[in-house]
Structure 1
Amino acid sequence: MSTPYILVVDDEPDIRELVRDILTDEGFEVNTAASGAEARASRQRRRPGLILLDIWMPDVDGITLLREWAAEEAEPPPVIMISGHATVESAVEATRLGAWDFLEKPLSLAKLLLTVRRALEAASLRHENQRLRRYGEPLEEPVGRGSAGEALREEGRRVAAVEAPVLLTGEPGTGKRTLARYIHGQGPRAAGPFVEISAATVGGATAAETIFGRETAEGPHYGLLERAAGGTLFLAHVDELSADAQAQLLAALETGRFRRVDGQGEQPLNVRIIAGSQLGEHDLARGGYLRRDLYDHLAGLPLHLPPLRERAEDLPELTAFFADHMAAVEGLPFREFDVAAQNRLRQHPWPGNLRELRNLVQRLAIAGGETAVTAAEVEAALGGETNTPTGIDFDQPLRAAREAFERAYLEHHLKQQGGRVGEVARVAGLERTHLYRKLRALGLQGSRKG
């Protein structure tokens, strides 16, 4: 289980040792600093999850340190100020700079522990709220009582109990973020932060700095590994990581430590890694997208998310869930789907998977009406095409969008040609051997006849 790391800064040795011993007995990991200079150095070596900071110290006062740290980080860890000679002005200034609370000496040990726990809980809740505002993700666990939905929850609970890295694979929109969040919430690090990043949005040196942080003359810039300390880092589109970033991630997984860009010392790796990719395991391992040794580390606990077209039995529950969400969160009218509409949903190939279904339910709710959604409305919302897949997600990286289109395109022609690869090759203008390789890469099958 992850242990919160706390830095205690106070120039009085008796208080430092007392607070350290109490917090250690309560299961926290504690480091101490006797001066502002020691506090700066300690914080540069390792980012704390919470700081107990004395106001009056011989070299630099706590207010100055608080001001420095607030300017360096957009989301600094909670800071609890402690002092035996505080003034109203110093208390007001500390609060203005973002201090979580103010404790007076002599310290009440019961109040100290209560304040520390509440500050850590508030920091976790703040991070969760920021994640929800950023992604608007309604699902907190895989939905569906069919065999696929049940299997995803069961597999999620199984791997959650083990702290090893997890590799999630599946087409775009199948719910990898939701499953990663579910695994985090079911595991021993559930009380810690859940931090996520798409490797497709950062590249080269930017990726390394974003994930591992950087040391500068002005102080450390903490990366996501330190911001996620005690919790989970979900690394989506892991196959988009640069070669250098892959090498650094591999070293961190092998040694349990990592180094910031331009850094001198090493930081402990106190985070669970969940990686996600829209490519299949075969392509990741042999297609050159990931180093083989990094793949072996990440794929110790592999989970594949099935596409929505293979989860027809979950469609009614998923549709109802999204309709409830639109009504409760977005204030849109709640509309049920009649039997004919549900049947039409089952016929659709869903190339955009859960994301496409959510958008469809939203469009039909915006269209309004107090009556149930009909098959004709579903047909119109899908573009009126019964055989040609639609709904490619234009918000995803180009490689993933191209793969989603190629899969939908080839599925359509395989169906049209009765699975005859030779005929599909003729229609698509491809050599048959090239088409076979393409089908294998996309996990599709056709008949060798014709």
Structure 2
Amino acid sequence: MSAARILIIDDEPDIRSGLADILGDEGHRVTLAGDAAEARARLGEAAFDAVLLDIWMPGTDGLALLREWVSAGELPQPVIMMSGHGTVETAVEATRLGAYDFIEKPIALAKLLITLERALEAQRLRQINRSLQQQVGSLFEPMGSSPAFAAVLAQLERLSGRDAAILLRGEPGTGKEALARWLHGRSARRGGPFVTVAAGAVPDEQAATALFGSESGGEVAAGLLEQAQGGTVYLDGIAELGPDTQLRLSSALERRQILRVGGRAPVPLDVRVIAASSQDLEAERAAGRLRDELYFQLNVLPIQVPALRERGEDIGPLVQHFDEIFAARDGVAPRRWTEPVLARLRQHAWPGNVRELRALAQRLALLGSGEVTLAEVEPALTGPGARLPPGTGESGHPLNLDLPLREARDSFERAYLLRQLHNAGGSVGRLAQITGMERTHLYRKLRDLGIDKDGGE
């Protein structure tokens, strides 16, 4: 465990000094506070990596202090609650407010060190995630001024202050997850986490544990829903969850609480749900693959995200935006996009939608310089939406026989998988059946080819 700055808040001097000795021996820098007033002063003087907070203190107790911090905004560091008179209700309330964990007094050394190590690691990963989100935020920020797309943004803006479930529907690659993140960033929950649940990537036998967490031998592992406490959970590909998992998820959303696998006490659930699907959900219901209970819970506010071909005036600004980002990231000069090239892009049907356009911009940014030419663009436009130039096979895929073997194979595989994904209605589960590929290998292949279904768009 790396050294960290720890604030210990407890009204009992012996406990404060004992914890300070233990954590000091582990290499941590420890600051002590005997009550809420002193804790406020210490927090005003320095930043801490974690806080150990006693619940039962005279005057302002630990829960009241925790509520005070939450009301002022997001907790800047993980808070571990301590109590010698704890109850299940107290632990649940502390967790609901945002505490990382709850440990009982007398405090076991092993339990303290393990809990603190996990809290610090969780905080480190959270900081890394935020840094990465800042780096790629502009790449995935939804943008467009076309009437179809502007109408969607206006709808979401109106709904940003509501907590009702939203269902984003649209073809694969249209940017549904980017819109969900955009909405989360404008909601009252923007200080909380945004957690993606890619249903198609969760094996049925692991779905319950992945979603709801687990308890075993005193060890607690938070599931994806619990990790989204106080924030937003994005459910991508809901119809790909198994029927038992769908029923359990429906019950959790209805009761606003979850029961971990192996657990006995329910945990309150405080999340906003944004679901997404590229499939025909009415057909999935009729076929028995989507439970009515879950469908009606998530279909409260359905929003149709337009395909890229329905917002042609956005194609030029989008491809130039992506080109500038990739050029800056990879240290190359931005390309020049002429009107004939942009006109050709507007003619394309874009079966992979914004994701396909982004991949094209990245490829051309890396493989060329100066003015983009039609000769460069034409081989890159693959899939059923491509025009049929000379040298085109019966499938409609451009056969560029001048490419090296590996590039030609990648071009074919990308076109093949785009078409089959379209035929599968965006379902990776069905795509795996059609292609005969194992699902984990299929996800890796989609990512390698720039049609990453994990992106949740």
Classify the TM-score, shorter chain.
Answer: 0.5 to 0.7
Whole-angstrom distance in 2 between the partners of 1:44 and 1:205: 31
Specify whether residues 73 and 310 from structure 1 end up closer, same or farther in structure 2 by C-alpha distance, changes over 3 A only: same
Local SS of the residue matching 1:206? helix
1:42 is matched with 91
Distance across 1 between alignment mates of 2:160 and 2:284: 23
Provide Cα deviations, 1:355-397, integer angstroms capped at 9, x if missing partner: 111111111111222x22122221132269524368999799x
Q: Distance in 2 between matches of 1:71 and 1:34?
A: 19
Aligned match of 1:332: 332
CA deviation after TM superposition for structure 1 residue 25, in Å: 4.7
Residues 48 and 217 of structure 1: CA distance in aligned 2, closer, same or farther (over 3 Å)? farther
Provide Cα deviations, 1:207-253, integer angstroms capped at 9, x if missing partner: 11111101111411110111110000111111111111101111011
> For the Cα contact (< 8 Å) 1:174–1:307, is it kept in 2?
yes
Match for 2:91: what amino acid? S
User: TM-score normalized by structure 1?
Assistant: 0.67
**Residue 113 (structure 1) aligns with:** none
Name the counterpart of 1:375. Answer: 374
Question: Are residues 125 and 302 of structure 1, via their aligned partners in 2, closer, same or farther at CA, if it must alter by over 3 Å?
Answer: farther
Q: Tell me the distance in 1 between the aligned counterparts of 2:188 and 2:412.
A: 34
Q: Say whether the 8 Å CA contact 2:55–2:63 is kept in structure 1.
A: no
**Who is 2:435 aligned against?**
none
Q: Residues 73 and 363 of structure 1: is their aligned pair in 2 closer, same or farther, counting only changes over 3 Å?
A: same
Matches of 1:161 and 1:195 in 2, distance apart?
19
Greater CA drift, 176-185 or 43-52: 43-52
Give the corresponding residue for 2:57: 13
1:341 alignment counterpart: 341
1:24-423 alignment, distance < 5 Å = 24-25=67-68, 28=71, 33-35=82-84, 42=91, 46=95, 49-50=98-99, 59-60=106-107, 64-70=110-116, 75-76=121-122, 125-129=127-131, 138-369=138-369, 371-382=370-381, 386-387=387-388, 388=396, 402-405=420-423
Q: Secondary structure at the match of 1:302?
A: strand
Aligned mates of 2:277, 2:413 — CA distance in 1: 17
Partner of 1:119 in structure 2? none
Report if the CA contact (8 A) 1:128-1:193 is conserved: no
My pick for the range that moved more, 386-395 or 211-220, is 386-395
Compute the displacement of 1:346 (Å). Answer: 0.9
Query: What amino acid sits opposite 1:68 in the alignment?
Result: I
8 Å CA contact retained: 2:192, 2:230: yes
Give the secondary structure class of the aligned counterpart of 1:167. strand
Determine the structure 2 residue equivalent to 1:3.
none
Deviation digits for residues 387-435 of structure 1 (CA, Å, limit 9, x no counterpart): 4368999799x8x963514789xxxxxxxxxxxxxxxxxxxxxxxxxxx
Match of 1:13, SS state, is coil
Preserved contact between residue 195 and residue 227 of structure 1 (Cα < 8 Å): yes
Q: 3-state DSSP class of the match of 2:343? A: helix
CA distance 1:60–1:38, change in 2 (3 Å):
farther
Instruction: Give the paired residue count.
Output: 351
Task: For residue 215 of structure 1, give the secondary structure of its aligned residue in structure 2.
Answer: strand
Shift of residue 352, structure 1, vs aligned partner: 1.0
Determine the C-alpha separation between the residues in 1 that align with 2:231 and 2:425: 36
Deviation at 1:205, TM superposition (A): 3.2
Flag the 1:353–1:238 CA change in 2: closer, same or farther, 3 A: same
Return the letter of the residue paired with 2:221.
Answer: H
- Tell me, in whole angstroms, the C-alpha distance in 1 between the residues paired with 2:98 and 2:237: 28
Cα displacement string for residues 39-82 of structure 1 (whole angstroms, at most 9, x for unaligned residues): 9993799476345999xx96226x64442214667953x5xxxx
C-alpha distance in structure 2 between counterparts of 1:7 and 1:47, whole Å: 17
Secondary structure of 1:14's counterpart equals coil
Could you list the runs of 5+ residues in structure 1 that have no partner in the other structure?
1-5, 79-97, 99-122, 409-450
Q: How far is the alpha carbon of 1:281 from its aligned partner?
A: 4.0
Q: Which residue identity lines up with residue 64 of structure 2 in the other structure? A: D
Deviates more, 1:307-316 or 1:64-73: 64-73
Distance 2:411 2:306 in 1: 17
Change (3 A) 1:393 1:24: farther
Q: Deviations over 1:126-183 (max 9, x none)?
A: 44335678xx564453211111221221122122221011111111111011011111
Sort the Cα spacing of 1:261 and 1:273 in 2 relative to 1 into closer, same or farther, 3 A: same
Evaluate the alpha carbon distance shift between residue 265 and residue 49 of structure 1 in structure 2; reply closer, same or farther with a 3 A threshold: same
Q: Is the contact between residue 55 and residue 61 of structure 2 (CA under 8 Å) also seen in structure 1?
A: no
The answer to whether the 8 A contact 2:360-2:380 is kept is: yes
Give the counterpart letter for 1:14 in structure 2: P
AA in 1 matched with 2:213: G
Paired with 2:174 and 2:292, the residues of 1 have a C-alpha distance of: 25
TM-score (norm 2): 0.66
**Structure 2: which 5+ runs fail to align?**
1-49, 73-78, 389-395, 399-409, 427-457
The answer to whether the 8 Å contact 1:349/1:389 transfers is no
Q: Distance in 2 between the 1:195 and 1:238 partners?
A: 15
Distance 1:19 1:263, change over 3 A: closer
Mapped to 2, the partners of 1:362 and 1:11 lie a distance apart of 53
> Structure 1 residues 124 and 189 mapped into 2: Cα distance closer, same or farther (>3 Å)?
farther
Q: Deviations over 1:325-360 (max 9, x none)?
A: 112223233112101000110111111111111111
Name the CA distance, whole Å, in 2 between partners of 1:146 and 1:256: 38
Match of 2:34 in 1: none
- 2:21 paired residue number: none
Note closer, same or farther for the CA distance 1:283–1:326 as it changes in structure 2 (3 Å cut): same
**C-alpha distance in 2 between matches for 1:393 and 1:191:** 43
